[in-house]
Structures are given as structure tokens and as C-alpha cells.
Amino acid sequence: MSKRSRAHSSQILTFSLFAVLLVVFGAANVQAQALAPSSSGDGHGVLREPSGRTDSASEKKPETTEEKLSALEQMLLEQSQRLNQLQKTITEQQETIQLLAKKLSATERSTEAAGLAGSGRPTDSAGAVGQAATVATQPAQSPAIEGRLKKLEAIKIEGDIRLRSESFFGLTNILASGDNPAAFGNELSPRNRMRIRARLKMSGGFGAETDWCKEFKCKEFEWGLRLATGSFADNISTNQTLTDFFNRKPFALDQAYVSYRPNAFGGHLQFQGGKFEPPWSLKYDQPWSNSELMIDNDLMVDGFSESYTHTSKTSKLKELKFVAWQLPMLERNSAFVRNADGTVNTDQSHRDGRDLALYGGQVRARLEPNAKVALHLSASDLYFSGTQFISPVQVFGSNLLLPVTFTIPASGGNPAQTITTQVSIPRDLLVAGNGNLGLTTASNNAVNRDGRLSSGYNLVNLLARADLKYSQRWPVSLIFNFVHNTQAHGVVRAGPGGADLILPNHENNGFWGEVQVGKAKERGDLAFAYTFMQIEKDAVLTPFNFSDITQQSDMRGHRFQFAYTAFAAEKDPKVVFAVTAIITERLNGLFGPFIPTPPGSLNRATTRLQFDTVLKF
């Protein structure tokens, strides 16, 4: 071959290599632009250019074929590093997705298996083996990812929001009648209001887990914290009225507790302290759980409780539980009272400084004679200590009596003086959206002529509940609750000449009977209920019992309820529509059993209608 031909061939080879390099550089540039972070973003890109090359090196153009091939190798190495980093990120994301899918699949399988077992149909063993094989073939999960998910699972967050439209009809007051001056009672206009309830709870547990706790889902240590709406002056309602010119609504501490189950007792023994649900309450899956004859469902108590639970799988007695509690209600300063002659009144000082507390105990049992019948029985004693030494208007009323101490400085020949007194402040000034009707006093219990409660309160409470599950669609529950106050005392009134007149007091019994039909677990479920209640004047301590009746003792009432489950997830109702009607009658006229009501006085039933929308999360 001639020199001219060899030169021509060398030029063709050079131009071919140059063209290939241009194509490679162009592809690398496009790939770098696709992987590099956008200049308009936040500057945190997934991949970055290696920092090993200097600007001078990047600006130097390769001249020989060897230099061009070296530059190409360097470029391919950088691309390989970027792809390795991207592959690592994708692998971590796939591990997280697989772990979540595995947990979801396990939940669905357990739910499906429970449904098949409940329906009596045999399970598909081949399908179960296939699912197990699928799970077994999944790669091992990253310990770091597993740890993060376990931490999230340890804290449970839940809550609910309830919207309520409420109307009152048949309201009356106890003032002198406008039509008949010798009679009392005047008709009031209907009342309508909108209310909201919001609750947010966090709970969790940790520590050792015994076999018994694994079955009943408990931990060695458990805790809970819940916030709720409601007026600070109203301890038996978490409702907040939508009023007060769009002001902000209170959202305060409703629960805060810690419980401990010693491993030495296998988890059966529990100690609890803080602010929590009444320990004597019984929880059920029905939409309306507890009788509110003694205690309203919204009341959270403070103090300590202890319980021991025994369970059995072979006996018809499935559960036997013992509960005790010590719940302080009111802590008062030490008192110092003098007689008129200047001597110390030790007895009165002791009474005025005595704290109030609720002590008691309960034994309850759950029996299942067969798969269709469950029977719950409980006997409780609630002793309210110190209630006879208080004036309900001072403690539970619309005014707070606050102690005030101030000093008058010395002036002239008069020495300095320190004076201690009490200042009355209306509770309405301290809270917003006060929900009381202004129709009853702080307590509907009988009071003596000195303003103190006439009776003590030691409540013996007997409750029975029967759950009949002969129909899956329409289960039936029957509730019977009876309470007797063993410390009802005569009522002291002013007699002839100002002398004390003691009236006998037999107003110490209360009764609650309820029938529930249906359930509220799955979408489309319906539930109906009827409740009859009758509460005598001193049967219960009225600042704490059912808040939705017009007056909380010396009454007879009827309640009708309806609930429809609009949405549910895994037999957990998420959206429920409910309607409630409560009709309340006075047993002994406007003024009760110890004050005669003049003839012709107005005394009629009050009707309260509630339309609720409840959303749970």
C-alpha cells in the first residue's frame, strides 16, 4: 500500500474514533443531566458528581487516542458508581415495601382465618402453605427498618370527633307563676344548640409479656394520655357548645395514667395510678356500654386502683375479677375555727379541713353457659368520704370560693393587720362555652337548713347484663342496675319558732333497666335501645351521675336510641349516625319530696333530642 493510501486510512480511523468519542460524550452529558440535581430545586440531589476531578483536569482536552480511551474509562467508572448508589437506594426502598406488605398480608390472613373459623368453614391448607412459602421466600429484612417500625407500633394513636345538634322542649323554671301568683313554674321557650366533642389519645406499653398478657394483649408497663374538649366547670361532659362569638374552645387533660403488672403474678395483678376511667366500669362491644345510674360515662377519676383477674377456658365461669380504688376528690387547707368566746372549736376545725375521697371495691364475674349466652354480674360498694361536711353550692356550684390573704399596713397608731377571707368567683368567668342549663342547683340532693348535704353516700351497686347472640344480625343485650344508699339521713328543716325539724328520708334507691337490639360493628349495621330509669332524691351523688337528664335525681326517665354504622374497617366502626330522645319527669313536683309544691304549679315532662355524627380514627 502506498504512503498516500496509508495516510488516508489513518485519517479515516482518526475521524471514526473522534465521532465515537463525540457520541459517548454526548450520551454521558445527557445521563449526567438526568441524574444531577436541578438548579431550581433545594440543592439536595440524590446523586452528585465525584469531587476527585479538578476544574483544570476537566478543561484539559485529550489529544491522543490513549488519552481519549483513558477519559472514556474514567467516565464509565463514574457512571458505574452512580448506578451502584442508585441501586442501593432502590434496594432499601424494596425492603421497606416488602416488610410492610408482609405485615399487611399477615393481618389479612389472620382476619380471614378468624372469619372462616367463626363461620365453621374449613380452611384451605394448600393456600395456607402457598402463602407461607411466599413469605418464606422473601429476603431477610433490614434490622434498622424493622426497629423503626417496631417503635412506631409501640405507640397507639386514636381518637374521635362527634358533632351534635341538640334541642330541648318542655323546659320550665321554678319561679312564681305569671298566671297564678300562688303557684310556681313558668313555661320556657325551646332551646337549640350545636355541640362538638373531640378526643385524642396516645397509649402504649413495654416490658416483659407473660403468656396471659399475650392472650389478652397487655404489657408489664402500660401508659395512656388523652386530651378532650369540654368546659372546665363541667366534670361529667366533654361536649363543647359552639357559642361565645367563635372563640377558641378548651382542650384539656382528660386521662393520664400508668399501670404495672408484676411478672410474679403472671400479669393477673394490676396497679394503676393517675387520671383514668372509673375502675368499676364494664366495657362491651355494643354502642352503648355502661349504665350511667351512678357515674356519667364522661367522668374520669383521679387516684389509684388495684385489680386481680382470674380467667378460665374450660369452666363456664370465664372471668372473675376483684377491684379496689382510692380516689381523692377534694384536698382542702387546714382549718382553724374559733367559738364566739374565742376558744378553739376543734370539731368544726376538723370538719372544715377534712378532705373528700371516694373509696370502694368491686367483685365481678363473666359466665358463658353456652356459645350464645354471656352473663356479666357485679357487686360494688362506693363510699364517698366527707360529703356531709360540705356545702354543695360551695364545692359543686356555679361559684368558686377562693381563699385570699392580704395585709393592711400600719398607719398612725394602728398596727399592721393580716386578714384572711374568701372571694366568690363565678365559674363562668373562668371557662368558655358553659353547657349547664341554669335550671338546677349544683346538686339536686337534699340539703339541710345550713346548706350542707343531708345524707352521706355509701352506694351499694348491683348490676347484671345478659348478652344473647342467637342472631348474628340482631344480638340482644339486657341490663339491670340497682343502687341503694345506706347512709340516707333525715333532712333538717326550720320548724315552729325556728327550731330544727327533721323530716324522714327514704329517698335512697335507684333503678336502671335497658334493652339493646342490634350491633354497630360493620358497615350497614343498625342498633336500637330503650332505657327506663328512676332515681330517688338521695340515691346517688348527683354531681357525678348521668348528665343528659334534666335533673339527676328525684326523676323518672325514658331514653330511646338509634344508631347506624355508615363506615367500618375490620369490624371497627369509623362513622356512626345516631339519634337519641330522652324524656324526663319529676317524681315529686317542682320542689321535691321535702318541700310541698303549691297546687296549680306547673310540672311537665322535658324532652331532649340529640342528633350525632361520630367519626373515629
Residue carrying the nine cell digits 373509696: 359
pLDDT for 42 equals: 46
Residue carrying the nine cell digits 437506594: 89
pLDDT band for position 128 (cuts 50, 70, 90): very low
pLDDT for 311 equals: 95
- CA dist 333 and 221 (Å) reads 35
> Nearest-CA neighbor of 299 among 270, 271, 327?
327
Three-state DSSP class for 453?
A: strand
- CA dist 513 and 381 (Å) reads 20
- CA dist 527 and 535 (Å) reads 26
Span of 288-292, 329-333, 580-584 with lowest mean pLDDT: 288-292
Query: What does residue 277 show for φ and ψ, rounded to 5 degrees?
Result: -65, 150
- CA dist 487 and 484 (Å) reads 9
Q: Are 616 and 605 spatial neighbours (Cβ–Cβ below 8 Å)?
A: no
> Nearest-CA neighbor of 551 among 532, 567, 535?
535
Strands 184-187 and 221-229 turn out to be unpaired
More confident residue, 476 or 347: 476
pLDDT band for position 145 (cuts 50, 70, 90): low
Q: How many Cβ atoms sit within 10 Å of the Cβ of residue 256?
A: 16
- CA dist 502 and 507 (Å) reads 14
Average pLDDT value for residue range 352-378: 93
Q: Is the dihedral of CA 172, 173, 178, 180 positive or negative?
A: positive
pLDDT band for position 394 (cuts 50, 70, 90): low
Q: Which amino acid is at 524?
A: G
Q: How far is CA 173 from CA 184, 248, 253, 557, 601, in A?
A: 8, 31, 34, 18, 11
pLDDT band for position 442 (cuts 50, 70, 90): low
In the 8-state DSSP scheme, what is residue 597? P
> Nearest-CA neighbor of 461 among 574, 541, 351?
541
Q: Are 379 and 361 spatial neighbours (Cβ–Cβ below 8 Å)?
A: no
Cell of 217: 394483649
pLDDT for 65 equals: 78
- CA dist 583 and 98 (Å) reads 57
pLDDT band for position 251 (cuts 50, 70, 90): very high
| Residue-range domain boundaries for the chain | 3-109, 162-196+277-398+436-616
> Nearest-CA neighbor of 444 among 249, 591, 279, 601?
591
> Nearest-CA neighbor of 252 among 240, 263, 261, 262?
240
pLDDT for 262 equals: 95
Q: Are 255 and 263 spatial neighbours (Cβ–Cβ below 8 Å)?
A: no
263: left (phi over 0), alpha (psi -120 to 50) or beta: alpha
Q: Are 141 and 98 spatial neighbours (Cβ–Cβ below 8 Å)?
A: yes
- CA dist 129 and 457 (Å) reads 63
* 518 CA to centre of own chain: 24
Span of 41-45, 234-238, 351-355, 495-499 with lowest mean pLDDT: 41-45
Average pLDDT value for residue range 577-583: 97
Q: Hey, which of 191-205, 284-298, 382-396, 589-603 has the most confident mean pLDDT?
A: 191-205
Greatest distance between any 2 Cα atoms in the chain: 151
More confident residue, 468 or 401: 468
Cell of 306: 388495684
Q: How far is CA 511 from CA 200, 219, 313, 539, 557, in A?
A: 33, 37, 33, 9, 11
In the 8-state DSSP scheme, what is residue 427? G
pLDDT of 255 strictly over 60:
yes
pLDDT for 616 equals: 96
> Nearest-CA neighbor of 276 among 325, 230, 216?
325
| H or E stretch at 80 | helix 65-119
* 376 CA to centre of own chain: 24
Query: What does residue 120 show for φ and ψ, rounded to 5 degrees?
Result: 85, 5
Per DSSP, the residues of 315-380 read SSEEEEEEEEEEEEEE-------B-TTS-B-HHHHHHHT--EEEEEEEEEEEEEEETTEEEEEEEE
| pLDDT > 70: percent of the chain | 74
Q: In terms of residues, how long is the chain?
A: 617
In the beta sheet, which residues pair with residue 191? Answer: 168
Span of 73-82, 99-108, 198-207 with lowest mean pLDDT: 99-108
pLDDT for 179 equals: 87
Query: What does residue 64 show for φ and ψ, rounded to 5 degrees?
Result: -90, 170
Q: Are 131 and 109 spatial neighbours (Cβ–Cβ below 8 Å)?
A: yes
| pLDDT > 90: percent of the chain | 49
pLDDT digits (tens, 9 = 90+) for 53-98: 444 444 455 567 777 777 887 888 888 788 888 878 887 777 777 7
pLDDT digits (tens, 9 = 90+) for 305-314: 999 999 999 9
pLDDT of 210 strictly over 70:
yes
